[in-house]
């Protein structure tokens, strides 16, 4: 479980997140949805500490991760690092190490933090790559992969350490509908199988309906709506409806 | 004011760089890689530059000695040795390396920053500054002195080659000049300087790259900055060290 309380963040006086409080539940795929530019990525980065929040607190289970009053102390840094070992994150742009092959990318965290033998590491990497349906790409470099393949490698790398908390920033944007669903289901499966707290940024309605155990709608940096994918279609929130039923024919359908 | 901000952040970065590594074996592997990418790949340019530099120094000195009849011909070798060992090899070659290695490091780190690879390291719980920069600094401190020693040798050879082949000086006189009143400490002094320069070039250009903000355009800008600032820093430290050690 990850608990975010009263987070605010602004860039140069321009508020991007306003007083957001959400509880992300364990063993569930928690989706954050919202228009492009609504602050989803910023929220995610605040939660993992790549951006410092202006106000508010982030708790990982009962471990304090980010609290404005403690960032000045170095003890907080130690706690952060230990929490981060439990985090897997897939970035919007992939963020693969481009000097390393696919295999080395997935092995990297294992080499850094475990004492596995070369063979065990390779097995683990192959297992993760299999799960994202990338079997014959081990020796390729990120620059030699398609955008969708890069995303899948990024997911494989994010899950290689068996994280307790998994963050995925738009895991299926730029993928064809079929692969997108495969990826969605994969993340959903892993979440349930290993009882992970998973947080997914998305603006894809298919994902929402398919795997949204819990859905949070962010609008203009504020939490606008929260519920399950079953509740979302019947929600009578104007902005949310605008977002979901963006296409004219869907709007007509809703009426 | 800006200067103090950068000095402060540079110091903070160095503190991170010299934190205890998560895993020595990985750092060691990185150091070996960096020795290759920083040192071995620079051998070519250092060699060419040194031979030409030595040759030019020899011609110029021979020209001067020719004009002053009271100077013995072996002064050509002597002068070439003094200037190559004391200044040309350590300082000029390091300035060239600041250009080559500095821009390389800064654009590598800058690209990693803007494509979020550094963030990805941080999320894994890796000390990114340590992992990326420490091996480069150690590799450079280790390999630069070898490059400079090689440069000294090739510089002297270049001088000998051009001197003898143009007939400006005989082989005997040149070699006699090279050995005349030789002070081994001068080499030590040059290598001390080199080690400082290595540290400065790598850390300053890594600083420029590591804190890049923005996109591809900024990566280019930081690599220009890396070359300019590390060259200036090398010149300043050169002055300081020369005064301290020889002054
Ligand atoms: N480093 C930054 N400096 C200044 N402003 C920023 C920065 N990062 C994000 N912003 C601003 O914050 C807002 C939210 O950006 P964010 O990346 O969170 O959007 P998003 O919801 O992830 O959009 P998308 O779906 O397109 O990825 C944008 O208006 C953006 O301009
Ligand atoms: Mg985003």
Record the tokens describing residue A160, joined without a space. Answer: 């290689």
Residue B128 sits in which domain range? 26-246
Residue with tokens 């060419």, as numbered in its chain: B48
Mean pLDDT computed over B23-37: 94
Q: What is the pLDDT of residue B110?
A: 97
A221-230, A239-248, B42-51: range with highest mean pLDDT: B42-51
In the predicted structure, residue A73 carries a pLDDT above the cut 60: no
A86 Cα to chain B: minimum distance (Å): 8
- Rg over CA atoms, chain B: 21
The CB of A37 under 6 Å from ligand 1? The reply is: yes
Does the interface predicted TM-score (ipTM) exceed 0.90? Answer: no
Residue B7 within any structural domain of the chain: no
Which of B116, B122, B124 shows the shortest CA–CA distance to A159? B124
CA distance between the termini of chain B: 32
Contact A84 B22 (CB under 8 A): no
Q: Is residue B199 part of a domain?
A: yes
Query: What pLDDT is stored for residue A77 in this prediction?
Result: 53
When mean pLDDT is compared across A237-241, B119-123, B178-182, the lowest value belongs to: A237-241
Q: What is the mean pLDDT of residues A193-198?
A: 92
pLDDT of residue A69: 43
Q: Which pTM value belongs to this model?
A: 0.90
Q: What percent of chain A has pLDDT over 90?
A: 51
What confidence score (pLDDT) does residue B95 get? 95
- Asked whether A109 and A153 are in contact (CB, 8 A), the reply is no
Tens of pLDDT, residues B161-213: 999 999 888 899 999 999 998 899 999 999 999 999 999 999 999 999 999 99
Pocket test for ligand 1, best of A37, A90, A204 (most atoms within 8 A of CB): A37
* Atom 25 of ligand 1: nearest residue by CA position: A36
Whether the predicted pLDDT of A200 surpasses 90: yes
Domain-embedded: residue B18: no
Q: Which CATH class is domain A2-86+163-254?
A: alpha beta
CB A20 within 8 A of CB A219: no
Q: Of A222, A229, A200, A237, which Cα lies nearest the Cα of A21?
A: A222
Q: Give the model's pLDDT for residue A236.
A: 80
* Residue in A222, A239, A233 with CA at minimum distance from that of residue A32: A222
- CB burial of residue B183 (10 Å; 0-12, 13-18, 19+): exposed
User: What's the gap in Å between A37 CA and the centre of ligand 1?
Assistant: 5
pLDDT digits (tens, 9 = 90+) for A24-37: 999 999 999 998 88
Ligand nearest to the CA of A51: 1
Residue with tokens 């070996």: B32
For CATH 3.40.50.300, the residue range(s) in chain A are: 2-86+163-254
Q: Which two tokens stand for residue B127?
A: 């000390």
Residue B3 domain flag? no
Provide the 10 A C-beta neighbour count for residue A221: 23
Strand partners, A199: A30, A167
Q: Is residue B63 a part of any domain in this protein?
A: yes
Query: What is the H or E stretch that residue A26 is in?
Result: none
Q: Indicate yes or no: CB of A95 within 8 angstroms of CB of B125.
A: no
- Vertex B140, ends B26 and B41: CA angle to 5°? 95
CB spacing of B124 vs A85 below 8 angstroms: yes
CA B4 to chain A, closest CA, distance in angstroms equals 20
Domain count across chain B: 1
Cα dihedral sign, B89-B95-B99-B103 = positive
Long-range contacts of A223-229 (CB under 8 A, 24+ apart): A223/A20, A223/A21, A223/A22, A226/A22, A229/A31
| Residue A147 confidence (pLDDT) | 85
DSSP annotation of B69 reads: T
CA distance B204 to chain A (A): 22
In a mutational test of the A interface, the residue from B19, B20, B123 whose CB has the highest number of chain A CBs within 10 Å is B123
Cβ pair B190, B146 in contact under 8 A: no
Determine whether the shortest distance from the Cβ of A34 to ligand 1 is under 6 A: yes
pLDDT digits (tens, 9 = 90+) for A241-251: 888 877 677 77
What is the model's pLDDT at position B139?
Answer: 97
Using pLDDT thresholds of 50, 70 and 90, give the confidence band for residue A70: very low
């Amino acid at each position: 479980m990850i608990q975010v309380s009263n987070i605010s963040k602004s860039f140069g006086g321009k508020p991007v997140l306003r007083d957001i409080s959400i509880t992300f539940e364990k063993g569930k795929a928690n989706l954050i949805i919202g228009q492009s530019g609504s602050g989803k990525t910023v929220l995610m980065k605040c939660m993992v500490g790549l951006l410092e929040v202006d106000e508010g607190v982030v708790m990982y289970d009962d471990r304090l991760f980010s609290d404005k009053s403690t960032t000045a102390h170095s003890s907080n840094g130690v706690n952060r690092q230990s929490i981060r070992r439990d985090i897997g994150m897939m970035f919007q742009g992939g963020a693969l190490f481009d000097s390393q092959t696919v295999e080395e990318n997935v092995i990297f965290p294992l080499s850094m933090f475990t004492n596995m033998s070369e063979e065990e590491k390779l097995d683990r990497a192959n297992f993760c790559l299999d799960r994202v349906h990338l079997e014959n790409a081990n020796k390729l470099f990120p620059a030699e992969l398609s955008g969708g393949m890069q995303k899948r490698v990024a997911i494989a790398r994010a899950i290689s350490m068996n994280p307790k908390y998994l963050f995925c920033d738009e895991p299926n944007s730029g993928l064809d509908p079929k692969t997108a669903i495969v990826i969605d289901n994969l993340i959903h499966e892993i979440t349930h199988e290993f009882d992970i707290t998973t947080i997914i940024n998305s603006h894809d309605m298919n994902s929402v309906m398919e795997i949204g155990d819990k859905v949070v709608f962010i609008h203009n940096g504020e939490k606008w709506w929260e519920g399950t994918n079953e509740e979302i279609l019947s929600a009578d929130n104007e902005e949310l409806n605008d977002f979901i039923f963006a296409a004219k024919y869907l709007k007509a359908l809703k009426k | 004011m800006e200067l103090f901000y950068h000095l402060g952040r540079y110091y903070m970065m160095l503190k991170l760089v010299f934190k205890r590594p998560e895993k020595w074996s990985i750092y060691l592997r990185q150091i070996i890689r960096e020795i290759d990418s920083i040192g071995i790949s620079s051998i070519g340019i250092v060699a060419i530059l040194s031979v030409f530099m030595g040759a030019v120094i020899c011609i110029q000195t021979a020209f001067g000695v020719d004009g002053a009849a009271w100077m013995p011909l072996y002064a050509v070798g002597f002068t070439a040795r003094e200037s190559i060992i004391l200044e040309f090899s350590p300082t000029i070659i390091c300035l060239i390396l600041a250009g080559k290695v500095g821009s390389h490091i800064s654009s590598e780190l800058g690209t990693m920053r803007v494509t979020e690879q550094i963030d990805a390291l941080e999320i894994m719980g890796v000390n990114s500054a340590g992992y990326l920069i420490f091996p480069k600094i150690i590799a450079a401190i280790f390999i630069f002195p070898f490059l400079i020693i090689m440069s000294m040798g090739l510089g002297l050879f270049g001088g000998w080659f051009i001197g003898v082949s143009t007939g400006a000086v005989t082989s005997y006189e040149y070699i006699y000049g090279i050995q005349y009143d030789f002070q081994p400490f001068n080499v030590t002094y040059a290598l001390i300087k080199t080690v400082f320069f290595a540290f400065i070039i790598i850390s300053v250009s890594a600083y420029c790259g590591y804190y890049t903000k923005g996109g591809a355009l900024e990566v280019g800008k930081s690599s220009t900055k890396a070359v300019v600032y590390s060259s200036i820093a090398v010149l300043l430290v050169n002055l300081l060290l020369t005064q301290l050690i020889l002054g």
